[in-house]
Amino acid sequence: MDKIKFQEQRKKVKRLCRQRKRRAKIKFQEQRKKVKRLCRQRKRRAMERKLRAMEDKYKRKEITNFYKDAKEIRKGHNGRTVHYKNKEGHLIYEEI
């Protein structure tokens, strides 16, 4: 009889742990979603500011600076290359 109660209690504890894990996972996913949304909004605002600055440059006849910015936007972000040396002294390249 005690063994049966013990097993039932153990099942309840396991079920409670699973529920806690599920809640934690859901909470983490919601927070992650909020952060992603915030990053997209900030990126959008930054792009709008950049475009407004380009418009001002064009209106002020700063054509060379305007085209530099246009080229930068068109090419996008380039990752930088990091160089490491292994034990033999040979270079190892890694894209970040």
Q: Give 60-95 pLDDT, tens digit per residue.
A: 999 999 999 999 888 877 766 677 778 888 877 654
CA distances from 5 to 11, 18, 53 (A): 10, 20, 72
Q: What percent of the chain has pLDDT over 70?
A: 92
Residue with tokens 């190892």: 92
Longest dimension (CA), the chain: 90
Per residue in 2-34, pLDDT (tens digit) is 777 778 888 888 888 888 888 888 888 888 898
Instruction: Give this prediction's pTM.
Output: 0.56
To the nearest 10 degrees (0 to 180), the angle between helices 2-59 and 63-75 is 150
